[in-house]
């Protein structure tokens, strides 16, 4: 939405902040910005989805991160977290 507002509608913005934000969202996973802190997560090393884009792994991990945190899921329902 921000990209549309800036690129298409020509909304005013801070160019430096926008460039930093674009780098973050293109290279990392989830971003949780708060007033005085920002939590950033790496992208998962494994992610499996079903046809409806729900987390799903038939007998295998549905999602796994580099630190080993992983989730088994069946059509979006979390079965087990490690």
Question: Each residue's pLDDT tens digit in the chain (82 positions)?
Answer: 788 988 899 999 999 988 988 888 787 877 888 999 988 888 889 999 999 999 999 989 999 998 899 999 999 999 988 8
The whole-angstrom separation of Cα 18 and Cα 21 is 5
Contacting residues for 55 by C-beta, under 8 A, at least 6 apart? 47, 48, 49, 62, 63, 71, 73, 76, 78
Contact in structure between 56 and 75 (CB atoms under 8 Å): yes
Predicted local confidence at residue 1, as pLDDT: 79
Model pLDDT, residue 7: 87
């Amino acid at each position: 939405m921000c990209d549309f507002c800036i690129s298409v509608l020509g909304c005013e913005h801070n160019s430096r902040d926008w460039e930093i934000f674009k780098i973050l969202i293109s290279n990392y996973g989830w971003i949780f910005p708060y007033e005085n802190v920002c939590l950033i997560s790496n992208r998962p090393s494994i992610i499996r989805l079903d046809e409806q884009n729900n987390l799903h792994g038939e007998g295998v991990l549905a999602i796994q991160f580099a630190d080993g945190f992983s989730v088994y899921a069946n059509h979006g329902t979390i079965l087990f977290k490690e």
